[in-house]
Structure 1
Amino acid sequence: MIDWFHWLNLAGVAVCAISGTLMAYQKRMDGFGVIVLASVTAIGGGTLRDVMLDLPVFWVADTDYLYTTMIAAFIPVIWLRISPRFPFHYLLIADAFGLALFNVVGIEKTLANDGGMAVAIAMGTITGVFGGLLRDVICREVPLVLNGELYAMTCIVGGFVYAVCHYFGLATQWCGIISLSVTVLMRLGAMRWHWQLPVFRSETT
């Protein structure tokens, strides 16, 4: 369980750091901008989660996450120096995987610290969306979480799927894998087919 959780968390940090770096590339930021954007995307959601749960902040307690952030941030930098053409949709795909990974991490960390399932689903959603929200705000973009297509809702659905699997006694790893898969597929489907949750009816003339 501990090894599974640790590697899952590292994977989420790496994917989100790559997402932040790609956004920095799109915005033509310098080296410092790359580090800032990669870092807030990778560790922003987990930091807020740990503060809200009154736990030691994960990257302060274990510096492996900082090293992972820095290494992952420079992978696309090297790639882009070799091949400067990098389609923007890769950023959205990386963001979808980071969203799903961090959602599962937030759920499992909350449950491991005696939080209830409802709180775990909320913390999974916060862990998943907050880093990307910070990234988009810094870049003066409309945050993806507010952009119409399903985003935070994919975390909530993935959280409910985790809860159902947990209720029926599946192993933690399988709960995480199934929840992660549902979240990723739902987010990619929302990107492909523009799934939304309309609240207000459009005015017609």
Structure 2
Amino acid sequence: MDSQITTRRLALQLALEIIPTILPVVQALAGDRSNVTDDGKKPMDELILALDLIGTPNCKDAANILRGYGPDLISFNLHLRNAGLRAKDAQVLAEAMRNTSQAQKLRPFSVSFNPNLTDFGIATLIASPPTTAIELGLVGCSMGDVGGAAILKWAQHAQAPSMIYIEQNNISTNLRQKFTYLQNQRPGLTVII
């Protein structure tokens, strides 16, 4: 299992190094540059590659949707509900999100109903969405206080989150109270626990 993740990470790193050099050539040969930024990359290359490497049907569907976005992107959604994500997939996805030039345009982000993400996966993922995301869906991810605390920290620094869905997880009463306090301090924020 660990060797599969290591192989995926190495493939992602290699692809991320190769894409910038070969992508402009391939696109020039194809004659289509309508969806390419000044640096020769499509806005979502890293994220698309990560989703393809994770390889579950829902991740491949999300990758195909992202392929259609151009450099004039205003915002985008990333819904990976029931995507069969595991904690180790979160590392690949988080790194790709950090390296995606358009990540600051991510608005709704959902990884709900991926019970194999657990605290480790949630804590890893929550470090990568930009603070401009307005909605987070993390329902039923087998998360406890470690993942919950990471979400709370993100929400405290996010610009204007409006919805955070974290029900069907194992969050303590103490942490639930902290989310309630945050919700009371930030008008417009709703946290569903």
The two structures have a TM-score, normalised by structure 2, of 0.31
Structure holding more strand per residue: 2
Higher RCO (C-alpha 8 Å, min separation 6): 1
